[in-house]
Amino acid sequence: MTADYRLPTHSKPSQYDLLIIPDFVNFTFQGSVDISITITDATQTITLNSSDITYPTSADGKPQISIKGSQGGISADQITLDAESQRATFNFPSSLSPGSYVLSIRYDGIMNDKLAGFYRSKYTKNDGSVSWIGCTQFEATDCRKAVPSWDEPAHKAIFRVQLVVPEGMTALSNMPVVQKRTTLDSSKEADQSRGLQYKAGSVHHTYAETPVMSTYLLAWVIGHFDYISGYTQDHKEVRVYTPLGKSHLGHYALQTSLQCLPFYEKFFEFEYPLPKMDLIAIPDFAAGAMENWGLVTYRETALLIDPQTSSTVTKQRVARTVCHEIAHMWFGNAVTMEWWTYLWLNEGFARFVEHLAVDHIYPEYDIFTQFVTDVYYLALGLDSLRNTHAVEVPVKLAQEVNEIFDTISYAKGGSCLRMLYWNVGAENFRRGLALYVDKYKYKNTVTENLWDSLSEATGRDIKKLMDSWIKQEGYPVVTASEVQGKEGRVLKLSQKRFFADMSDAKAVANESLWSIPISVGAYRDGKLRERFDSVFEAQQGEIVLPSSFSSEDVLKINIEHTGFYRVHYDEPLFQKLLEIVPSLSPIDRLGLQRDTFSLATAGVGSLERALDVMSRLKDENNFSVISALSTTLHQLCSLHSENERVISSLRGFISGLFSSQFGRLGWQAGATEEHQSGMLRGVVLSIIGETQDQAVQEEAMRRLRAFAADEKDSSIAGDLRSTVYSICMRYKTRESRELLLSIYRRTSSAEERVRILGAIGRINTSKEGSTVEEAKRAIQDNLEWWTTDEVRNGDSAYLLGSISSSNLGRQTVWNHLTSDWKAFSARFGDGQNFVLSSVLSGVLVGHSTLVAAEDFEKWFEENPMPAAKRTISQLSETVRLKAGRLERESRELEKWLTEKNY
C-alpha cells in the first residue's frame, strides 16, 4: 500500500541506536540516533517523519547528519522541513546507490507539556516538594516529536536505547537495563563530534535491544518512583511503578497482571517474548493507558487502587484496563496493523478479549453482562448517527488518525467480535486467533489476514459473514412479525439501517444490507426452552421455525443481544414478550429496555412501549439491568429538566421503581456482600437522588460534613462518594463546594480528585435547589478554579462536564470558552486530541435546542478545530436530535405518566 501520504518506499529502517539526554531544568533534550537502513532505489534524498525537532549545525553551517555505507560516508548538505506533513528530507551531495547504510542524526527537542511525544509531568511529594517526570506517549504519530523516524506502523525495526539521566532518577524503557554507569567527567564522556553535552555525575543507562516493533511502541520514563514486583509461574518479572509513597496502591494491578499474562499466553499459544513487564502510573496522562511493549503507561486512576476507599467500579475499570493493555502485547505489538485504517485490529480486539481475561480472573464480576451496558450499547448509540464511520475506515493525515481512536474502533469493533465469538464458538474463535498470531508474529496485517485465519479454524467463510459489519457504516434494525406457515410458526423479517432519527431522508433512502446472525429463543413457563439460529441477508424474507416451536412459546429474537442490531417487534409479539420480562436473562431484560427506548426516540416505536418495559423492572436487583434503567431515566430527567410537570411525575415514577431497592440496600455495606452490591447501592442512590427526596439529601449532607471534618471517617463508602457529592452540590451548593474543595486539597488520591471534579459543578436551579445567584457564583468560581494549577489538563473534562450538567452551567461554560477561544485552543492543542474531544463532549452534549446546535455549527465553521472535526459533527447532530425529541416526546411522556397516576 503506497500513497503520497505515506513515506517514500525506497528506504526502510531495520534498527535504531538511540541516545537521549534530558534536561530537567530547561525541559529540553539532546538526541542522537544511528538508523540502519536499506535503500532499494538510487536516491539523493531520504525522507522521514520529524515534528517539533531542531537540527543543530556544525561550524561549517551544515546539519550534523551523515550516512555511511560500504563505499564510505557523506554528510547531508541540506534539510527541508515540512511542518504540515511532519516530515524532514535530508539532501545529500551525491546519489546513494541501493544497499545497506547507517544514517546518523544529531538533533534537539523539547520536553513539552502537551501530553504527547516526550513530555513532562509533575507531582507533589509528601514533603511538599515538586517531582518532575519525563514520559513518552508516541501513539499514534508522535514518536517523530522525540526521534526522527519512519513513524508508520509498517516500518518495524529493532530499537537499542540509551538514556543519560540525573543521578537518583529511575530510568525505564521497553527492555531491561544491561549496563548502568556514572559519567565521571563531562568533557571525556561527551561526544564532542556531535555536540552532545553530558553533566558529570549523570547516570548512563543502556538497555537490551527490543524485538522488531513499530515506532509508536517505543517508550521511556524518567523520574522518582517506588515500585512493587512479582513473578509469573515461568519467572517473568512484573513491576508496578508509582509516584513516591503510592506503591501500596499497586497491589491489585500487580495481582491482575500476574494472572492475565499467563492467561493470554495460553489463549494465543504464544509466549510473551520480553523478559519483563513494567506498569507505571503517570500523574499527567491524556488517555487511559498506553501499551508500550514492556513498559505500559497509565493515568493513576486506571492503575492504582486503595483497598479502603476505591469504588468497585474503579476496581473493575483497573482490571479491564490492565487486561486491555496486556492484550495488546499480542494484538498490536507482536502482530501490528499495516496502517491506521486497520486500527480496529488493535483496539476492537483488545476491547473484547480484555473481558475474556477479566472473566477468567474474576468470574464474580459478571463482566460480560456489563459488556452489554458499557461497550455494546455505547457503540449502538454512536453508530446510529449520520456522522459515524465504518470500523475499517480509510485514514490519511496524522490528525485523522487520532480521530478514529473512538467508540467505533473500540466498542463497535469489540461488539462485532463478540458477535463472531458466539456465532462460531469459543474454541473455534480462540484457535483462529492462535493461528493468526503464529502466522503473522512480528509482521503487519490487514483485516483479510484475520478472516483467513478464522476461516481456516472454522471451515466457514468469515469474510462473507463479517465484511458488512466492518466495512460499512451503521447497523440494522430487524422488524419482526409472525405469520402462520403450513408446517408451523414463521417469522417475517425485514432489515433496514437504523438511524437515531428514522424520519431523516438519509434513513429513508438507505438500502444497506448486513449478514445478520439471527437467534430466536422459545420461552415457556418463564424459561428458555429452545433456540434456533440462522443468517438473514435479504431486505425482506421469512424464517421457518422448527416444528418444536409451539404456539404457546413466547419468541425472543437476538438472544443475549450477541448480534449487533436492534429488533422492532410487531404488537402481538411485543405484548407476549412484555408479559415475561422478569423471566428473561439479565442481558435480555436490559436489552429489551434499551432497544424499546432507542426505537421510541428514533420515531419507530412508541415511548409507551419503553415505559411499559421499565415498569416491569420494579423489583429488579441485577446491577447491569438497574444501571441500564438508571441511564435511561437520567437521560429523560436531563432532557425534560425545564418541564416541571413532567419532572415531578418522573420523580414519582422513579420513587415507585427504586424505593424498595434503596430501603433494602441502605447507606452502608453489610458484613458479607456480593461483589456487585456496592455498585448496585451507588447506582440506586444516584437515581433516587433525581427525586430530590429531602431525607436523602439531609443524610448525604450529614455524611459529607463528617467526612470533610475527619478524613478517617467512614461515613461515605467509596462506592457512594461520587453520588453523595453530587446530591450535596445540588442541595446546598455553597456549603458543599467548600467542603469538597477542602477534601480535594488534602487528598493525594487521583481517584478522589476525579470524583470531586465530576461533582463540584453540579447545581440545581429549580425551586428546590440553589438560587440563581448562588448558582452563578458557583459556576464562576469553578471556571476560575479550572484555570489554576490545581486542575490537571487531562482532568479538565470532568470539571467542565460537571459544570455543564445544568442549562445555566452549560451556556455559561460555552460563553466562557468562546470569549477566549485562543487560550482554549492553545491549552488543548497539539497532541491532546483525546482530551480535547472529551472536553468538547462534556461541554456540548447536554444542550438540546436547535439554536444551540446552530450556534456551535457557526462557531466551528469560523473557528475550525481539525483535530476534533468528527467529534464536533457528532455533537452537533446529537444536539439536533435531542431538540427534535424534546418536542416530540414531551406529550407522550406526560400522557403515560398521567395515565399511571404519577
Quote the percentage of the chain above a pLDDT of 70.
97
CB atoms within 10 A of CB 102: 15
CA atoms of 350 and 328, how far apart (whole Å)? 6
Residue 52 shares a structural domain with residue 192:
yes
Residue 3: pLDDT band (50, 70, 90) is: low
Whether omega before 883 lies within 30 degrees of 0, making that bond cis, reads no
Answer whether residue 311 is part of any domain: no
Mean pLDDT on 228-246: 95
Answer whether residue 623 is part of any domain: no
**pLDDT score, position 1:** 40
Answer whether residue 241 is part of any domain: no
Residue 828 shares a structural domain with residue 813:
no
Residue 127: pLDDT band (50, 70, 90) is: confident
What is the per-residue pLDDT across 314-358, written as a single tens digit (0 to 9) for each?
999 999 999 999 999 999 999 999 999 999 999 999 999 999 999
Segments forming the whole domain that contains residue 547:
476-563+565-607
What is the per-residue pLDDT across 596-634, written as a single tens digit (0 to 9) for each?
999 999 999 999 999 999 999 998 999 999 999 999 999
Residue 827 shares a structural domain with residue 794:
no
Answer whether residue 124 is part of any domain: yes
**pLDDT score, position 68:** 96
Mean pLDDT on 63-91: 93
Put residue 488 in one of left, alpha, beta given phi > 0 → left and psi -120 to 50 → alpha.
left
DSSP 836-866: HHHHHHHHHTT---HHHHHHHHHHHHHS--G
Q: Is 328 labelled a binding residue?
A: yes
Quote the percentage of the chain above a pLDDT of 90.
80
> What's 730's domain CATH number?
1.25.50.20
> What's 353's domain CATH number?
1.10.390.10
**pLDDT score, position 472:** 95
Q: Is the pLDDT of residue 563 over 80?
A: yes
Domain count, the chain: 5
- Which of 382, 384, 389 has its CA nearest to residue 599? 384
CB of 436 within 8 A of CB of 417? Answer: no
Answer whether residue 593 is part of any domain: yes
Residue 722: pLDDT band (50, 70, 90) is: very high
Answer whether residue 47 is part of any domain: yes
Residue 798 shares a structural domain with residue 833:
no
Q: Is the pLDDT of residue 749 over 70?
A: yes
**pLDDT score, position 2:** 44
> Domain boundary at 163, 192, 223, which?
223
Residue 112 shares a structural domain with residue 123:
yes
What is the per-residue pLDDT across 455-485, written as a single tens digit (0 to 9) for each?
999 999 999 999 999 999 999 999 999 988 7
CA atoms of 521 and 734, how far apart (whole Å)? 54
Contacts of 193 (CB under 8 A, 6+ apart): none
Q: Is the pLDDT of residue 185 over 70?
A: no
Q: Which grid coordinates belong to 655?
A: 420513587
Contacts of 637 (CB under 8 A, 6+ apart): 647, 650, 690
What is the per-residue pLDDT across 645-693, written as a single tens digit (0 to 9) for each?
999 999 999 999 998 898 899 998 877 888 999 999 999 999 999 888 8
Residue 815 shares a structural domain with residue 825:
no
Residue 811: pLDDT band (50, 70, 90) is: very high
What is the per-residue pLDDT across 846-862, written as a single tens digit (0 to 9) for each?
899 999 999 999 999 99
Whole-number Cα distances in Å, 16 to 102, 404, 630, 644: 9, 29, 53, 65
Q: Which of 139, 152, 300, 325 is catalytic?
A: 325
Phi, psi of 192, rounded to the nearest 5 degrees? -65, -30
Which of 242-246, 392-396, 405-409 has the highest average model confidence (pLDDT)? 242-246
Put residue 400 in one of left, alpha, beta given phi > 0 → left and psi -120 to 50 → alpha.
alpha
**pLDDT score, position 484:** 81
Planar angle of CA 649, 650, 651, nearest 5 degrees: 90
Q: Is 847 labelled a binding residue?
A: no
> Domain boundary at 223, 249, 275, which?
223
Residue 342 shares a structural domain with residue 463:
yes
Q: Is the pLDDT of residue 102 over 80?
A: yes
Judge whether 774 counts as a catalytic residue: no
CB atoms within 10 A of CB 552: 10
Q: Is the pLDDT of residue 770 over 70?
A: no
Q: Is 347 labelled a binding residue?
A: yes
Q: Mean pLDDT in the chain?
A: 93
CA dihedral (115, 120, 125, 128) positive or negative? negative
Amino acid at 502: M
> What's 553's domain CATH number?
2.60.40.1910
> Domain boundary at 471, 499, 517, which?
471
- 57 forms beta bridges with 63
Containing 60, the helix (H) or strand (E) segment is: none
Give 837 or 609, the one with higher predicted confidence.
609
CA atoms of 67 and 96, how far apart (whole Å)? 9
Mean pLDDT on 545-560: 94
Residue 176 shares a structural domain with residue 43:
yes
Residue 766: pLDDT band (50, 70, 90) is: low
Contacts of 143 (CB under 8 A, 6+ apart): 49, 117, 149, 151, 215, 216, 218
Answer whether residue 675 is part of any domain: no
Q: Is the pLDDT of residue 71 over 90?
A: no
Residue 202 shares a structural domain with residue 150:
yes
CB of 587 within 8 A of CB of 561? Answer: yes
> What's 183's domain CATH number?
2.60.40.1730
Give 821 or 247, the one with higher predicted confidence.
247
Residue 824: pLDDT band (50, 70, 90) is: confident
Residue 812 shares a structural domain with residue 869:
no
pTM: 0.94
Residue 822: pLDDT band (50, 70, 90) is: confident
Listed range (91-100, 479-488, 564-573, 769-778) with the worst mean pLDDT: 769-778
CA atoms of 238 and 227, how far apart (whole Å)? 10
Quick check: helix, strand or coil at residue 143?
helix
Residue 418 shares a structural domain with residue 524:
no
Answer whether residue 288 is part of any domain: no
The secondary structure of 649-669, three-state, reads HHHHHHHHHHHHHHHHHCCCC
CB of 219 within 8 A of CB of 297? Answer: yes
Mean pLDDT on 788-806: 91
Planar angle of CA 454, 456, 457, nearest 5 degrees: 65
CB of 392 within 8 A of CB of 341? Answer: yes
Residue 842 shares a structural domain with residue 806:
no
Q: Which grid coordinates belong to 434?
A: 492462535
Q: Is the pLDDT of residue 287 over 80?
A: yes
- Which of 459, 445, 466, 447 has its CA nearest to residue 537? 466
Length of the chain: 902
